[in-house]
Structure 1
């Protein structure tokens, strides 16, 4: 049963990238655009604003799978920075400092740096388009 499931691993990699990026993107739209409602928009040129810009740009790039490894690297570093600056000083335990999402984002994006975007991506489409020219 699990051997057949393994055949879907590349598509699930793309699904992981897309879903994670959509949620990450939502953090950026909330900080920069005030949407969805619930959080307040960040003031321009603050740490929160810069993280919103990164979340928006990298989130969009990762949703479509364009320059995925670079976007994932920047997003991973941003989440590591966010954890150590905003969450870790509050409490040692991530469940108590509300940093568990930042840790998960950091490591999912770090995984994507090495695993790539999967087959459902602009990057994969560009590779396929270039492949016949190289031959």
Structure 2
């Protein structure tokens, strides 16, 4: 085939290609128009296809449910925190761990134990007992100091040597015991000494090979001395109470021990 035949074929192919392109453009335009018409004719969603907004009643019902869920979450978190705290405390107890805040709390708030006799009722009762006892013993000591001859005769009769010197010591010891009991200083020692002197008086002077009950006399011989024995033993075991020098010194020692961490 010659060159002229090829030229004629190419000229014939160009109109055919143009017809195909024009047909494709027409089809594309028709497709676009059909799509637009379908969008315009699509029905709107009906009532059954739309979800209405919740009304006030439904909102009121939904609100407690949400609050209950939140409360349940808070309770669960609280229980979990308590469980962790218990596990941590148990672990610290086994390991012997002491937290700084607990140790600081023990140091900041010390407590001083207070005996029952240091309270108001016990203090008042023991103070009145000491006051009466000191007055009674003091009168005995003053009489032994100012009226010495009966004391000297009594001491000599029971066979004690140096009766004159012993009478001075006896009178001075009674006065010292009275002062110690009155101010509550060394009250336990004073109670023991007072009870011992009263026992000596009962055994060697007031009681003997005779009837202690005398006709026309109230009570019996040595009744006051026996009472002083009981008071002396009571002061020996109980102490002077809160209103005394002994209690003040005891509280001071306790406070010093707490301050020093003993």
Cα gap change, 1:83 to 1:49, in 2 (>3 Å): farther
Query: Would you say the 8 A contact 1:65–1:122 is kept in 2?
Result: yes
Query: Would you say the 8 A contact 1:62–1:71 is kept in 2?
Result: yes
Residue in 1 that maps onto 2:210: 91
Q: Over residues 59-79 of structure 1, what are the superposed CA-to-partner deviations in whole Å (9 max), with x where a residue is unaligned?
A: 111111111101110110110
Query: Would you say the 8 A contact 1:66–1:121 is kept in 2?
Result: yes
CA RMSD in angstroms comes to: 2.0
Unaligned runs of 5+ in 2: 1-118, 153-163, 214-218
**Which runs of structure 2 are paired with 1:1-135 in the superposition (5 Å)?**
8-32=121-145, 34=146, 40-41=147-148, 42-43=151-152, 44-46=164-166, 48-89=167-208, 91-93=210-212, 95-97=219-221, 99-135=222-258
* 1:56 Cα deviation after fit: 0.9
Unaligned runs of 5+ in 1: 1-5, 35-39
Computing the radius of gyration over CA atoms, which structure comes out larger, 1 or 2? 2
Residue 45 of structure 1 aligns to a residue in which SS?
helix
Cα gap change, 1:64 to 1:90, in 2 (>3 Å): farther
Query: Would you say the 8 A contact 1:54–1:75 is kept in 2?
Result: no
TM normalised by structure 2 equals: 0.43
Residue 117 of structure 1 aligns to a residue in which SS?
coil
Query: Would you say the 8 A contact 1:82–1:102 is kept in 2?
Result: yes
Count of residues paired in the alignment: 122
TM normalised by structure 1 equals: 0.79
Larger RCO, structure (CA 8 Å, separation 6 or more): 1
| Rounded Cα–Cα distance in structure 2 between residues aligned with 1:51 and 1:91 | 25
* 1:90 Cα deviation after fit: 6.0
Cα gap change, 1:119 to 1:7, in 2 (>3 Å): closer
